[in-house]
Amino acid sequence: MKSQAEIDKFEKTNTQLEALHNEISMLSKKKPDDAINKFKLQFVNNVLKNANELLGEQYKPFSDFTLFDEDALPTNSDVIMILAQYLNCMEKLRSDNIVCDLGDYYWLIKSQKSKLVTSSPKKLKER
């Protein structure tokens, strides 16, 4: 991470992605093939836009996907699938930018350990 501001932006975006994933999962369980409305889609796209800025080309889940096209009438299950991919890639970005010190995890800013504590990587076993 380049700065504390970027870490703040990451944490906000990640939280929003998780919240959207939870909310739309509920809709998707009920009606997976129903089109998502424009109001929700607008906010999903706003969060994805921030996520794209953080992830960059290196961490972006799909090179040919950037945002949802509202005219393509994406369904609940389409949105859930993409949000899940973004959540995983955000976690990959976080895992690559944290360091363990005496059992606690800290963010790296410009490859240097900072004082900002974070949680352990979700896929700890693989590391």
Partner 1 sequence: MVLIRPRLTDCFDIPICQEESDFAIPFLDEDIPFCLDPFLLWRSPSMQDTSLHAMLVNSFNYLGFLVNKGEEAAAIEILIKASECNEVGLGFSGTRHGHKIGPKVASEILSLFRLIPQIQKNGFTHFEEIQLYIDQISKDRISDIACTYLKSWLIDYTIDQCQKLGIPTSDITLENIYNTKDNDFKTEKVKLPFNPQDKRPILLVPKRWLRWAPWINCEDYINDYFIKDVSEVKDRLTRIQILNFNRQNYDVVQVYIRQKERTQQDCKNDPLFQPIPILSAKRKFTAIKKLPTGKADNADKQYESYICQLLASLLYPHLDFADEQVRTDSGVQIRDMIFYNNRSIDFLTDIYNEFNSRQLVFELKNVEQIEREHINQLNRYLANEFGSFGVIVSRHNLTRAMFKNTIDLWAGQRRCIIVLTDEDLQLMVDVYESKQRLPIEVVKKKYIEFTRACPV
Q: What residues line the site for partner 1 (CB under 8 A)?
A: 31, 33-38, 71-73
Minimum distance from residue 87 beta carbon to partner 1 (Å): 23
Minimum distance from residue 68 beta carbon to partner 1 (Å): 13
CB neighbours of 121 closer than 8 A, spacing ≥ 6? Answer: 91, 94, 95, 98, 105, 127
Closest among 44, 37, 36 to 19, alpha carbons compared: 44
Q: Report how far residue 108's alpha carbon sits from residue 47's, in angstroms, rounded to the nearest whole number.
A: 23
Minimum distance from residue 69 beta carbon to partner 1 (Å): 8
User: With contact defined as beta carbons under 8 Å apart, do 54 and 9 qualify?
Assistant: yes
Q: Give the gyration radius of the chain's Cα atoms.
A: 16
